[in-house]
Amino acid sequence: MESDARAHPWMANSAPGVLEAMLVEIGAVSVAEVFQQIPEDHFRKTPLDLPPALTSEIDLRRDLVSKLKKNKSCEDYLSFLGAGVWQHHVPAVVDEIVGRTEFTTNVWGSYQSDHGRNQAWFEFSSQLGALLNLDVVQLPVYSWGCAIGHSMRMASRITGRTKVLVPALSDPERLSVIETYCKPVEMEGHIEIVSVNADPTSGRFDLKDLAKKLGDDVAAVYFENPAYLGTIETGAADIARMARAAGAETIVGVDPCSLGVIIAPGDYCADIVTGPVQPLGVHMHCGGGAGGFIASRDEERYVHAYNGFLVSVVETQKPKQLGFGLACPHQNSYGMRENGNDWTGNSTYLWAIAGAVYMSLLGPEGFRELGNLIVSRARYAAKLLDEIPGLKIVWPDTTFKEFVVNFDHTGKSVAEINDALRARGIFGGKDISSENSALGQSALYCVTEIHTADDIRLLVDTLKVVVQ
C-alpha cells in the first residue's frame, strides 16, 4: 500500500503496515505470492472500468439519495396499484425490529446463538397458522408465485400425478413463475397446467368446467381467495370437495390481511395454502418486499413434501425450557443435493420477522378492523367509480380490496387515462387490457386501509375530468 493511502473505513487490515505484517508472518515476499495457485494467463487482461470510489459517507449518501429522489413514490402520488404488491400501513415498530443489526447480519449459528431469531421465526409460523387455521407453516420462499410453484410440485410428489388446474383469470406475472416451476413438456417431471374457465358473470370458477377437467390425472386444483381480479371465491368449499373426490389436492392462495373477515382456508378444507407475506408489515420496496408462504395440515405426507425450512419448537436439556430448530432437515437440498425436495437457499426470512411483529401488533381485533376497513373503502370506491358515466365495475359485489374498472365506454384507453391521472398526481390501477381481451379496456384498482374517503373522492373527481 502506498504510504499516503488512507485506510478504508470498511477494511481494518487496510491500515498502514497490517498487510505487510501478515505477509511477514506467513513468509511471503509479496501479495502476488499468495495468488500462486492462479496460472498467469488466467488473470484478467481488461482493466477494471468502475466509477470513481466514494469512500466518504457524505459522498456516498449524496449519490444514493440524489438518484433515488428521481423516483416518484406512492407517498408523492396517490396510488391505486396493487396486483401482487400492495400499499399497506407498516407500523413503525416493524421497521425498528427488522432493522435490528442482529437480525440483518445474521447468517446461521447454533440453535442457541440464534435462539431469538428462531423464536421470531416460529412466532411468524404460529401466528400465521392461527389466521389460516392450519398447523404447519413453512418459512417463506422467494415470492407468492414461487410458493405456488413449490406447492404444485409438492402436490405432484404427493399424488404421483402431473396435471394442475388453475383459474383462467390468473395473474400473468405469477403464472409465468408457475410455468417456469412446472418445467417444459420435454423435461422429465413436466407438470401440465390447464386453465379452468371463469364464470363471466361473477369472475369465479366455472364449476361445470372444473368438473369436466377434474380427472384422475389431476394433482391439484389451484385458486385464489380473493382472486387475482379481486373477487371472493364463494365456491371455495365446493371446489375443495370436488378436488378431494377426484383425489387431487386443493391449493389455495390467500391474502393474509383479509383473514380477519374472510373465513380461514383451513375451514373450507384447503390442503395446501399459499400467499404473499408483503401485506404483513413489509413495504412494497419496488417489488423487493415479495415473499410467499406455504402451509398445510400437520400430516406426514405434507410435511415430508416441503422444500424449505420448517421451524419446530422443542424441549431443551433444561426442564421446562423451550428452544427451536429445523424439523425434517434431511429432506431439503442442503442435505440431499439433487435428491432433495426442489431446492432451497437464502430466501426472504427477514420478512418472517416483519410478519411476526405485524401480526402480534394487530391481534384478532386488529385483523378484524383492518379487513372491515379495507373492504368498506374498496366497495365505496367501486360504487363511486361505477357512477361515473362511461365507467363500469366488473363483478362489483364480491370484491375485497381490488376490483376491475372497465373504461370501454369512455372512448379512451387505460394507458391514456393512466397518463392523464399521472399528470394529476395519481397512479391509476394496473392496466390489464392486454391480459384478457374479454375485459376490454380495463384496469385493476386497489384500495386499502391507507386510502381515506377523501382520497377516494379525489380519484373520482379526477377521473371525471380525465374521461370527459
Q: CA-CA distance, 363 to 83, in Å (whole number)?
A: 26
Would you say 213 or 281 has its CB closer to another protein? 281
Q: CA-CA distance, 139 to 117, in Å (whole number)?
A: 12
**Shortest Cβ 345–another protein spacing (Å):** 3
Q: Collect all residues with Cβ–Cβ distance below 8 Å to 124 and sequence separation of at least 6.
A: 137, 139, 352, 353, 355, 356, 359
**Shortest Cβ 112–another protein spacing (Å):** 4
> Across the strands, what pairs with 218?
163
For residue 228, count other CB atoms closer than 10 A to its CB: 25
Would you say 366 or 440 has its CB closer to another protein? 366
Q: CA-CA distance, 293 to 204, in Å (whole number)?
A: 24
**Shortest Cβ 204–another protein spacing (Å):** 11
Instruction: Identify which of 86, 145, 123, 74 has the alpha carbon closest to the alpha carbon of residue 293.
Output: 145
**Shortest Cβ 464–another protein spacing (Å):** 17
Q: CA-CA distance, 163 to 165, in Å (whole number)?
A: 7
Would you say 173 or 192 has its CB closer to another protein? 173
Would you say 212 or 298 has its CB closer to another protein? 298
How would DSSP label each residue in 233-261?
-TTHHHHHHHHHHTTPEEEEEE-GGGTTT
**Shortest Cβ 253–another protein spacing (Å):** 13
Q: CA-CA distance, 423 to 415, in Å (whole number)?
A: 12
Would you say 394 or 447 has its CB closer to another protein? 447
> Across the strands, what pairs with 296?
136, 272
Q: CA-CA distance, 98 to 95, in Å (whole number)?
A: 5
- DSSP class of residue 407 equals -
Q: Which three cell numbers stand for residue 184?
A: 417444459
Would you say 293 or 407 has its CB closer to another protein? 293
Would you say 137 or 251 has its CB closer to another protein? 137
**Shortest Cβ 308–another protein spacing (Å):** 9
**Shortest Cβ 4–another protein spacing (Å):** 13
Contact 253, 283 (CB under 8 A): no
